[in-house]
Amino acid sequence: MNLDDAQRSKVGEWVGQGLKLSEIQGRIATELGVKMTYMDVRLLVDDLKLTPKDAETAQPMSAMLETAPAVPPPEPRQSSKMPPAATAASEPASPGLASSVSVQVDQLARSGAVVSGKVTFSDGNMAEWYFDQMGRLGLVPQKPGYRPPQSDLQQFQSLLDRELSKMGF
């Protein structure tokens, strides 16, 4: 459905005010009398070269670890897009002290995962990690109920971010 220039400028004002796409959709229906689907509104905003403020912002990995689903890790699968396995050891937390947190990225991503790997925490406990297609981080410890220390989680986050950045994620 096409909108005239006045209606399009009104939509631009709403985007500038920080309204979410669903709110804009509602206003188009009530104030302009035009019924549009959410996808139509999304395409309209894109056509107008506007950026809505309700775009999902990236969550820090530490928040993802706290809300990671407790599901078993997916099975391995073949992927031609995955680069060779990568390994990283964390930088010392303070000068002169070596840390034993390390992250490995699997060469072949597990089934249902975009990228996966393993982490070894400073106390020697290991866990498998993965990002699913929705961008959620899953962390599955080898010992049921194991929770790594907060300092290890911060190092894991830093190492994982560094390794995935090298790989273009």
pLDDT tens across 19-49, in order? 888 888 888 888 888 888 888 888 888 888 7
Higher pLDDT: 11 or 87? It is 11
Average pLDDT of the chain, as a whole number = 76
Residues 135-150: pLDDT tens digits? Answer: 888 888 999 889 888 8
With 90 as the cut, is the pLDDT of residue 14 above it? no
SS (H, E, C) 128-148: EEEEECCCCEEEEECCCCCCC
Cβ atoms of residues 131 and 116 within 8 Å: yes
CA distances from 70 to 73, 140, 159 (A): 9, 7, 22
For residue 112, the model assigns a pLDDT of 85
Rounded CA separation 108/159 (Å): 19
**Global pTM?**
0.45
pLDDT single digits (tens) 111-128 = 888 999 999 999 999 999
Mean pLDDT of 71-91: 50
pLDDT, tens only, 49-63: 777 765 544 445 545
Is residue 154 pLDDT above 80, yes or no? yes
- The Cα–Cα gap between 120 and 133 comes to 24
* pLDDT for the residue numbered 102: 92
Amino acid of residue 11 = V
Q: Provide the phi-psi class of 124: left if phi over 0, else alpha when psi is between -120 and 50, else beta.
A: left
Domain boundaries, the chain: 5-47, 61-166
Q: What DSSP designation does 126 have? A: E
